[in-house]
Amino acid sequence: LSELEALMERMKRLQEDKEDEEASQEEMATRFEKEKKESLLVISGGICAFPVPFSFDDEIVSTDVSRYIEDPSFGYKDFARRGEDHLPTFRAQDYTWENHGFSLVNRLYSDIGHLLDEKFRMVYNLTYNTMATHEDVDTTTLRRALFNYVHCMYGIRYDDYDYGEVNQLLERSLKVYIKTVTCYPERTTKRMYDSYWRQFKHSEKVHVNLLLMEARMQAELLYALRAITRHLT
């Protein structure tokens, strides 16, 4: 099977399995912990822990941006150290964008919550219902896996989501691309972009990038707004 056909087959199988039997809460928690720990191994200092069809030594454009920032060493760091047994988890049910973050940010900066919420929803729901040459395809499962994987990398867990879907729909090379775009965007190259989902249209792949960026922004907002909430209370 081609990459596209294999992905569509996995999406179909996931839907059938969900209709037959749902995973228990304990099993879903275990799958999240496994996915969270694996996400820490995807990239380390620019080195891929998984075998992928490209490396960070390829086509890296060296750009000196240090003169534009006060702290040149500032950048993404994993939310926990690899090898730790008990990694911190941000339970989305305890502090969600819809129920907590939205109202707080609106109170701090009038109407900005509405604008942010509209942006999150627009990008998340954006779809032509296509996958490459296939039409009338429900891509909800795939979009949700992409969004939730980014939050998983930031230690955010949704109790009602089965992270087994992430592992089945997102291949290791794609996970490397996702973490690079989300956490180390300056290392993203055209070769990396071309190497994943080769049969997909550019508009679909650009949508993936938009989805990753919005998921990252919402994750960062959740941490920041939760800290502000705790300070205020």
Per-residue pLDDT of the chain (233 residues; tens, 9 = 90+): 688 999 999 999 988 887 677 788 899 999 999 998 888 887 633 444 444 444 434 334 445 666 667 776 777 877 777 667 778 899 998 999 999 999 999 999 989 999 999 999 999 999 999 999 999 999 999 999 999 999 999 999 999 999 999 999 999 889 999 999 999 888 888 999 999 999 999 999 999 999 999 999 999 999 999 999 999 98
d(CA 149, CA 123): 16
* Longest pairwise C-alpha distance within the chain: 57
Indicate whether 147 belongs to any domain: yes
Indicate whether 91 belongs to any domain: yes
Residue 175 CA to its chain's centroid (Å): 9
**Unique residue bearing structure tokens 């867990």:** 157
Indicate whether 84 belongs to any domain: yes
Indicate whether 122 belongs to any domain: yes
Indicate whether 62 belongs to any domain: no
Give how many domains the chain has, as a whole number. 1
Indicate whether 108 belongs to any domain: yes
Indicate whether 65 belongs to any domain: no
Angle at 168 between CA 86 and CA 148, to 5 degrees: 55
Q: Which domain holds residue 146?
A: 3-52+75-232
Beta-strand runs (E) in 28-133: 43-44, 47-48, 90-91, 130-131
- Which DSSP category does 61 fall into? P
Residues 124/191, Cβ–Cβ less than 8 Å: no
